[in-house]
């Protein structure tokens, strides 16, 4: 039996190589996906590997002695006569051999197919960690990467040490969450920060926390501008924030009015712009947002995303706003028990995360999105129990 390994960019391409090299009778022994390059198996190019085999048919070459005069001595001999029982016994042995080989290949195929499902091959002691990661909302691809790394880099006797397993997983999560970008006040001119995102994610509360922190705690000169004239409550909320912390608040309805408000506060160190919540499916709303941002030319455009949003919707929102976004902010971490979905987003982007919010208190319930804090929110504070 001849066994070959084939590698390609996808299943179709790799199967084509198998058929060209071994023919349509080839038996697939193993199929797996792996990432080539990258760091710790992350961000590399996805490749497909197929291991296949073909049963080689023996070729029998008979040497027939021929005399110098052309007389074939072997051909002249009378054929050897075999009994019916001899023929039957040899045929039966061959059939048994073929059947046995087919059974062996079928078992091998079944075993190799099972390797594609990491859940079925991980030791039970690691399986509970995989279940914990799924419960936290982390998608299957990332679960496989995190648990496979533990499986490959820790000794079997270390798998029962919860602190070592957690530390290994946490280190990988921190690596994925490694990009961080915090707001720095302007020096010669104001630093302009715009918050964008879908409706109901907490943009107005977040902008109030940021403004209060920089003006009250850091003693910076701050101004607030709201372009969210769709919701009267949002305007009143921001005005109330401004009155409490002693920060001016401007309400604008057009991009031209936004430019005038920016010029009015050119002496400030920070200007925060609160935009209306936009549906990623509404082209007109997105066009209006583009017009405001084109006029403001913000230094930071921060996409605010709620941790309570389902990952499928988070992904759609991120993809729609991605072209406008320089930084991410995740909110409402106190309202979910499955903050692992944040890791799913971070695993698909190189954009830095700036801040996390975990409550309604202003300005306290906001923190810098350091890799350590991100990992704690994503994995949870408690380890899974056996």
CATH number at residue 314: 3.40.50.300
More confident call, 70 vs 359: 359
Quick one: what percent of the chain has pLDDT higher than 90? Answer: 45
pLDDT at 110: 45
* Separation CA 229–CA 234 (nearest Å): 8
Average pLDDT of the chain, as a whole number: 81
More confident residue, 345 or 22: 345
The answer on 346 and 301 residing in a single domain is yes
Residue 70 domain-assigned (yes or no) = no
Asked if residue 208 and residue 163 are part of one domain, the reply reads no
Whether pTM exceeds 0.75: no
- Token pair 């996808």 is found at 10
Residue pLDDT, tens place only, 115-169: 444 444 678 889 989 999 999 999 999 999 999 999 989 998 999 999 999 999 9
- Residues 149 and 282 both lie in one domain: no
Give residue 261's pLDDT: 96
Alpha-carbon dihedral sign for residues 269, 275, 280, 286? negative
Residues 160 and 172 in one domain: yes
Q: 211 and 165 share a domain?
A: no
Q: In the prediction, which pLDDT does 332 show?
A: 93
For residue 233, name the pLDDT band (cuts at 50, 70, 90): confident
Looking at the fold, whether 335 and 202 belong to one and the same domain comes out as yes
- What does the pLDDT average to over 310-317? 90
Q: Count up the domains in the chain and report the number.
A: 3
228 band by pLDDT with thresholds 50, 70 and 90: confident
Q: Which residue has the tokens 């930084």?
A: 327
Q: Is the pLDDT of residue 320 over 50?
A: yes
Residue 308 lies in a domain: yes
Q: Are residues 210 and 315 in the same domain?
A: yes
Given this model, what pLDDT does residue 111 score? 44
Q: Are residues 238 and 108 in the same domain?
A: no
- What is the spatial distance between Cα 138 and Cα 130, in angstroms, rounded to a whole number? 10
For the chain, give the secondary structure using H, E and C: CEEEEEEECCHHHHHHHHHHHHCCCCEEEEEEEEEECCECCECCEEEEEEEEEECCCCCCCCCCCECCCCCEHHHHCCCCCCCHHHHHHHHHHHHHHHHHHHHHHHHHHHHHHHHCCHHHHCCHHHHHHHHHHHHCCCCHHHHHHHHHHHHHHCCHHHCCCHHHHHHHHHHHHHHHCCCECCCCCCCCCCEEEEEECCCCCCHHHHHHHHHHHHHHHCCCCEEEEECCCCCHHHHHHHHHHHHHHCCCEEECCCHHHHHHHHHHCCCCCEEEEECCCCCCCCHHHHHHHHHHHHHHCCCEEEEEEECCCCHHHHHHHHHHHHHHCCEEEEECHHHCCCCCHHHHHHCCCCCCEEEEECCCCCCCCEEECCHHHHHHHHHCCCCCCC
Could you tell me if 244 and 328 lie in one domain? yes
Give residues with Cβ within 8 angstroms of 66, minimum separation 6.
Answer: 72, 73
| CA–CA distance, 242 with 51 (Å, rounded to integer) | 66
State the pLDDT at residue 2.
Answer: 76
| Residue range(s) defining the domain that contains residue 308 | 191-369
Is residue 213 domain-shared with residue 127, that is, in the same domain?
no
Shared domain check, 340 and 214: yes
pLDDT at 236 over 90: no
Same domain membership, residue 150 and residue 18 = no
Assess whether pLDDT exceeds 60 at residue 348: yes
Going by pLDDT thresholds of 50, 70 and 90, the confidence category of residue 197 is: very high
Tokens of 56: 């080689």
Residue, of 373 and 75, whose pLDDT is higher: 373
| 279 is a domain residue | yes
CA 60 – CA 13 distance, rounded (Å): 35
- Among the listed residues 284, 293, 271, the one whose alpha carbon sits nearest the alpha carbon of residue 196: 293
Angle at 262 between CA 350 and CA 205, to 5 degrees: 60
What mean pLDDT comes out for the span 361-377? 88
Comparing 165-174, 237-246, 248-257, 321-330, the range with the smallest average pLDDT is 237-246
Please report the pLDDT score of residue 229 as a whole number: 67
């Amino acid at each position: 039996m001849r066994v070959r390994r084939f590698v390609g960019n996808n299943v179709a391409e790799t199967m084509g190589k198998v058929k060209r090299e071994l023919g349509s009778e080839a038996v697939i022994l193993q199929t797996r996906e792996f990432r080539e390059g990258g760091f710790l198996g992350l961000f590399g190019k996805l490749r497909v590997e197929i291991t296949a085999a073909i049963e080689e048919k023996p070729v029998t070459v008979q040497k027939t002695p021929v005399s110098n005069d052309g007389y074939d001595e072997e051909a002249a001999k009378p054929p050897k006569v075999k009994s019916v029982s001899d023929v039957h016994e040899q045929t039966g042995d061959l059939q048994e051999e073929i059947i046995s080989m087919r059974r062996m290949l079928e078992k091998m195929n079944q075993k190799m197919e099972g390797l594609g499902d990491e859940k079925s091959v991980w030791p039970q002691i690691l399986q509970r960690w995989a279940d914990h990661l799924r419960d936290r909302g982390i998608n299957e691809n990332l679960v496989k990467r995190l648990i496979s790394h533990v499986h490959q880099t820790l000794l079997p006797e270390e798998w029962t040490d919860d602190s070592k397993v957690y530390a290994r997983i946490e280190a990988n999560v921190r690596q994925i969450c490694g990009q961080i970008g915090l707001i720095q006040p302007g020096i010669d001119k104001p630093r302009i920060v715009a918050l964008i995102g879908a409706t109901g994610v907490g943009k107005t509360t977040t902008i109030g926390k940021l403004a209060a922190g920089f003006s009250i705690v850091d003693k910076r000169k701050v101004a607030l501008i709201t372009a969210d004239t769709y919701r009267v409550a949002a305007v009143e909320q921001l005005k109330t924030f401004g009155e409490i912390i002693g920060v001016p608040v401007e309400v604008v309805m057009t991009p031209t009015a936004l430019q005038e408000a920016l010029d009015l506060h050119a002496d400030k160190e920070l200007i925060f712009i609160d935009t209306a919540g936009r549906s990623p499916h509404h082209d007109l709303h997105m066009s209006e947002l583009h017009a405001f941002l084109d006029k403001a030319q913000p230094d930071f455009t921060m996409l605010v995303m709620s941790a309570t949003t389902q990952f499928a919707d988070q992904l759609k929102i991120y993809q729609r706003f991605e072209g406008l976004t320089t930084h991410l902010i995740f909110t409402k971490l106190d309202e979910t028990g499955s903050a692992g979905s944040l890791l799913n987003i971070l695993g698909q982007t190189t954009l830095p995360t700036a801040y996390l919010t975990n409550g309604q208190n202003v300005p306290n319930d906001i923190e810098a999105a350091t890799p350590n804090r991100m990992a704690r929110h994503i994995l949870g504070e408690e380890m899974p129990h056996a």
